Amino acid sequence: MYSNRLIEKKIERKLKSSGAVLVVGPKFCGKTTTCMQYQKSYVKLNTKQVISMARMNPAAMLLGEKPRLIDEWQKVPDIWNFVKDDLDFQYEFGKYILTGSSTPADKTEVHHSGVGRITPIKMRPMSLYESKDSDGAISLQDLFNGGGDFMWGLNQKFSLEDVAHLICRGGWPISVLSPQEISVEITQNYWNGLFVFEDCENERFRNKKPEVLKMIVRSWARHISTEAAITTIISDVRQSNERTMERKTFDDYMEALQDLYIIEDMKAWNPNIRSKTSIRSTPTRHFVDTSIACMALGIMPADLMGDLESFGLFFEDMAVRDLRIYADVLCGDVLHYRDNAGLECDAVLRLNDGRWGAIEIKLGGEDLIESGAKSLKLLKSKIEEKSSERSPSFLLVLTAVGAAYQREDGVYVAPINMLKP
């Protein structure tokens, strides 16, 4: 059974304005299933035989009714060059759809950037709105437009136990569509096989030791939603595994994890403030889906319930995943703000037209909400007084549980299970 995805509109729009669309993202996030909705012919590079044929005759992979879907193109990088050349020779909108779960093993085999011909789109696992775990009563678009349709609600049926389960289950379609009692186990199976590379996989990944990849992911997970320095994470790898780890080796493995679309750090927002205060540029450590961090550390829902401090960090990571998916729909991105004066904001949702909203992410409870609202108002004042940036469209404390309402100071409070783009 196919579940509709928010990225569909973007794919449709880009097929009407580009010769080819490249959809990338981690394994099993739903790329192929979604793109199959738009193809009129396809080829999957999923066996040695097909890959061998593609290497001998890349042009043959382009033959077929258009749009032509070429799944896991990166296993034969020369396909990219043939697609680009074909579009140079006879440009038409929506001719090709390429999907990839990693970058090519040898990036030098891709001779052209594809700019102007091939449009990249990043696909992530399912948000809570896509998995129907959010009712979408509160729209970020509405908040950008003034919040006139903001939906107040008590939201009494959604508990921290529910949130803990959703964090560990993740947004993988195969887990989302499975019965709840086995959904986390299915995600665990995904983690167990994540770094098992088939013979037809890129040699670059097959040469990586799965145990080392998992060691680095575990160390990354221990610093989830923080600004931990790379040196700190390398030290964690060394100490927790009682082994040496050279910086060069770490960087090589990190590049592999990034090219597999598993790790997705959040960049810092620099609003050009006229102040002696220095804005910190260190990215916040995040995953494409929080369940990877949970499985790496062996964390189950009950473990999160027993450690609320860690729960808060893991919830922040899941919230960032959803915000990124929603921002993509709204033509924007998600950044974080930190300065040396101690002022911080967990997420700044910035649209391409210059509008932005500030979001603090909290588990819930009056004290945490008050703390989040205070930080948001301080940031708003600082921007208005010392920056050329426009005022924020909204201030939002995004919670795990609790009611949706607007405070007397104008700050919105909304639980994640009521949010949509």
Residues with Cβ < 8 Å from 86, sequence gap 6 or more?
Answer: 62, 95
Contact 268, 344 (CB under 8 A): no
Q: For residue 97, what pLDDT is reported?
A: 98
Q: Angle at CA 195, nearest 5°, toward 191 and 201? A: 135
Q: For residue 199, what pLDDT is reported?
A: 56
What backbone phi and psi angles, to 5 degrees, belong to 34?
A: -70, -45
Per-residue pLDDT of the chain (421 residues; tens, 9 = 90+): 789 999 999 999 999 999 999 999 999 999 999 999 999 999 999 898 999 999 999 999 999 999 999 999 999 999 999 999 999 999 999 999 999 988 765 555 564 667 789 999 999 999 999 999 999 999 999 999 998 778 788 888 899 999 999 999 999 999 999 999 999 999 999 999 998 876 555 566 777 888 999 999 999 999 999 999 999 999 999 887 767 788 999 999 999 899 899 999 999 998 877 665 677 889 999 999 999 999 999 999 999 999 999 999 999 999 999 999 999 999 999 999 998 888 999 999 999 999 999 999 999 999 999 999 999 999 999 999 888 889 999 999 999 999 999 999 999 999 999 999 9
Contact 309, 46 (CB under 8 A): no
Q: How remote is the C-alpha of 274 from its chain's centroid?
A: 32
CA distance 243 to 240: 8
Q: For residue 383, what pLDDT is reported?
A: 93
CA distance 166 to 183: 9
The single-letter DSSP state of residue 266 is: B
Q: For residue 350, what pLDDT is reported?
A: 97
Structure tokens at 363: 């588990």
Q: Which of 163, 121, 103 is nearest to 6 (CA)?
A: 121
Q: For residue 197, what pLDDT is reported?
A: 77
CA distance 76 to 203: 12
3-state secondary structure of 388: coil
CA distance 345 to 336: 6
Virtual torsion, Cα 102, 108, 111, 113, nearest 10 deg: 50
CA distance 106 to 215: 25
- Structural domains present in the chain: 8-122 (3.40.50.300), 138-186+262-420 (no CATH), 195-260 (no CATH)
Angstrom distances, CA of residue 331 to CA of 30, 77, 120, 297, 389: 21, 29, 14, 34, 18
pTM of the predicted structure, to 2 decimals:
0.94
Q: How many CB atoms lie within 10 A of CB 223?
A: 17
Q: For residue 275, what pLDDT is reported?
A: 65
Contact 114, 400 (CB under 8 A): no
Q: Angle at CA 72, nearest 5°, toward 54 and 110? A: 70
Contact 29, 124 (CB under 8 A): yes
CA distance 148 to 393: 12
